[in-house]
Structure 1
Amino acid sequence: MDINKITDLLTDKLTDWVEAIIKLLPNIALAAVVMVIGFYIAKFIRKIAGKLIHKVSNNVTLNNLFSSIIYFIFIGIVCFTVLSILQLDKAVTSILAGAGILGLALAFAFQDIAANFMSGIFISFRKPLKVGDIVEVKDYMGKVKEVNLRDTVVETFQGQTVIIPNKEVFQNPIENYSYLQKRRFDLSVGVSYGDDLEKVRQITLDAVSDIEELSKEDTTQVYFVEFGDSSVNLSVRMWISSPEQSVYNKVGSEAIMKIKKAYDANDIMIPFPIRTLDFGIKGGTKLGEMPVQISNKEQ
């Protein structure tokens, strides 16, 4: 190939590029201005969004996440605007198509993570539980130690740390014992059929009335609930002024001791199960024959 032709081709190509760049100079300048202003506006919007979200949620992690999402969305808008100013519409279309395909693939690949993440967001806004609450979730009862965007950490009263995915927390019933800042203790007791039930009721109320941790706003109640096989069963319902498990256990222990002591002092009997033993089953020895056998062995 002739060197002159190659030179001419290269020159023409470079000339076209230079002309295209010169024509785009106003667009390049405008794009630069739009990008600089856009970045400053994005930072300002991020700051304002953080303050507004903080009024709705006290979760710092969640607030930072939403602020960052709003920031990057605005940055994306600025970038696409700049590409349009530079007349790179085909590039914008390709980027959007690629982002859509990538987003769909990631949604299928990380659907469980996404479900836990979204559940964490709903939990943060609805606040069915918070750090320090005593809760029961998925058969785990304990104190909430952390509420993250992906999982909730509960420390059981046996000392185990349980990490529960937020999807399980959000989709299952939550028993929050700290919501009312008090708990009810129900104690079942049985008394003899021969006892005066009115007397039993009053002695039971008097026995537990001086427990220090009982709520002053709520009254202790005694209900006779059923006729049992060997006793009349009653339920003592006491409201405790603290939701803490240690206080709950302490009140229950004191109530049992005080009721037992009061019943003993007033001749109220708490029946215990009576069993009849049959020694005449196949392969065994009848009860009537045992003294004879013992006496024979002694001889």
Structure 2
Amino acid sequence: MKDQFNTALGNLIDKLIGWFNAIIESIPNLILAILVLIAAYFAAKYVSRLVGKIVDKRVEQDSIKSAISRVSAVVVVALGLFIALGVLNLGKALTSLLAGAGVVGLAIGLALQGTLANTFAGLILSFRKKIQIGNWVETTGYSGEVVDINLKDFTLREADNNMVIIPNKTILDNPLKNYSLTTRMRVFLECGVGYESDLEKVQQLTKETIANTFDQVEKPEDVEFYFTEFGGSSINYLCRFWIDAESMLEKLRAKTEAIIAIKKAYDQEGINIPFPIRTLQFDNNLNINSSDSKES
């Protein structure tokens, strides 16, 4: 029994001595690994600020800039950690760490599939020059001013001041009309005049009225005018002209001014804008004293 105890004690002492020698031999590598981690920490702060300045020139959203800066810092720190593990000759630990990170990343990706999709979509939208904060856009049935683009959603302010929050992924998957990409818009105006009207006079008066109302229309010939149909109570036409505008609200204001100006011009010239008329005919007498009613 005593011999067994002495043998076990000797093995334990040998093991401790081996560990001690290994620690002593690894001190230079340990110091180097610590220096690598410290250097990675300061490099991450520098890279984060540098990336932030670069992104600031292309992205207006603070949330996007902060997220990109943090991701760049995490990448630098992770790279420093892997180098430090390699310096310590912990290749197996490094392999296990990478494998574990892959499994965890896969699990997180599956669990947060929708959230990650919106996050990456938000990053893509932030770097698109054709979609900027302040633009007036129309998408998925909504129209309004872009007030925010973050990592989760896309926010519009409609003309009635209501906020519409749309997931970023929905914006990328659907068509988007940006009214602010051009400085000119075409106004479409439909109206009708009575059958007794002089159509050539109507055409010329309408063109002159539009040209006199809007500075952007230099002469009446710049206004497009087409009679479209013989309607139920009027001869209908389509009028089109260009204005300087970057939002749907400006287009609506211009259309309102055009309608008011045309109505005044027609009133002065005695041109009638008819409205639908329904005639009710009561000349069919109903015989309530029929034989059927008497029998009942």
TM norm structure 1: 0.83
- Quote how far apart the aligned CAs of 1:99 are: 0.5
User: Out of 252, 256, 262, which is 1:253 matched to?
Assistant: 256
CA distance in 1, matches of 2:218, 2:82: 63
1:201 alignment counterpart: 203
Does residue 99 of the first structure (1) align with residue 107 of the second (2)? no
Higher alpha-carbon deviation: 248-257 or 87-96: 248-257
CA distance in 1, matches of 2:143, 2:47: 42
- Quote how far apart the aligned CAs of 1:246 are: 4.7
Does residue 88 of the first structure (1) align with residue 86 of the second (2)? no
Higher alpha-carbon deviation: 219-228 or 20-29: 219-228
User: Out of 11, 17, 20, which is 2:13 matched to?
Assistant: 11
- Quote how far apart the aligned CAs of 1:103 are: 0.8
User: Out of 169, 173, 177, which is 1:175 matched to?
Assistant: 177
Higher alpha-carbon deviation: 73-82 or 242-251: 242-251
1:296 alignment counterpart: none
TM norm structure 2: 0.84
Distance change (3 Å), C-alpha of 1:4 and 1:41: same
Partner SS for 1:234: strand
User: Out of 237, 240, 243, which is 1:240 matched to?
Assistant: 243
Does residue 220 of the first structure (1) align with residue 212 of the second (2)? no
1:20-51 per-residue CA deviation (whole Å, 9 max, x = no partner) reads: 11111221122223222333333333333333
- Quote how far apart the aligned CAs of 1:189 are: 1.0
Higher alpha-carbon deviation: 125-134 or 77-86: 125-134
- Work out whether residues 115 and 167 of structure 1, in 8 Å CA contact, stay in contact via their aligned partners in 2: yes
- Quote how far apart the aligned CAs of 1:93 are: 1.1
- Quote how far apart the aligned CAs of 1:164 are: 0.3
- Quote how far apart the aligned CAs of 1:216 are: 5.1
Counterparts of residues 130-145 of structure 1 (less than 5 Å): 130-145=132-147
- Work out whether residues 224 and 239 of structure 2, in 8 Å CA contact, stay in contact via their aligned partners in 1: yes
Q: Percent identity?
A: 39
Paired residue type of 1:275 = R
The total of aligned residue pairs comes to 283
- Quote how far apart the aligned CAs of 1:97 are: 0.7
- Work out whether residues 204 and 259 of structure 1, in 8 Å CA contact, stay in contact via their aligned partners in 2: yes
Partner SS for 2:32: helix
- Quote how far apart the aligned CAs of 1:260 are: 1.8
CA distance in 2, matches of 1:217, 1:264: 24
CA distance in 2, matches of 1:30, 1:134: 56
Does residue 45 of the first structure (1) align with residue 47 of the second (2)? yes
CA distance in 2, matches of 1:254, 1:154: 27
Alignment gaps of 5+ in structure 2? 287-296
CA distance in 2, matches of 1:88, 1:72: 21
- Quote how far apart the aligned CAs of 1:80 are: 1.1
Distance change (3 Å), C-alpha of 1:166 and 1:43: same
Distance change (3 Å), C-alpha of 1:267 and 1:216: closer
CA distance in 2, matches of 1:215, 1:164: 36
Higher alpha-carbon deviation: 111-120 or 53-62: 53-62
Partner SS for 1:190: strand
- Work out whether residues 211 and 251 of structure 1, in 8 Å CA contact, stay in contact via their aligned partners in 2: no
Partner SS for 1:105: helix
Paired residue type of 1:61 = S
CA distance in 1, matches of 2:231, 2:184: 31
Paired residue type of 1:140 = Y
2:279 alignment counterpart: 276
Does residue 119 of the first structure (1) align with residue 121 of the second (2)? yes
CA distance in 2, matches of 1:121, 1:41: 24
CA distance in 2, matches of 1:168, 1:194: 52
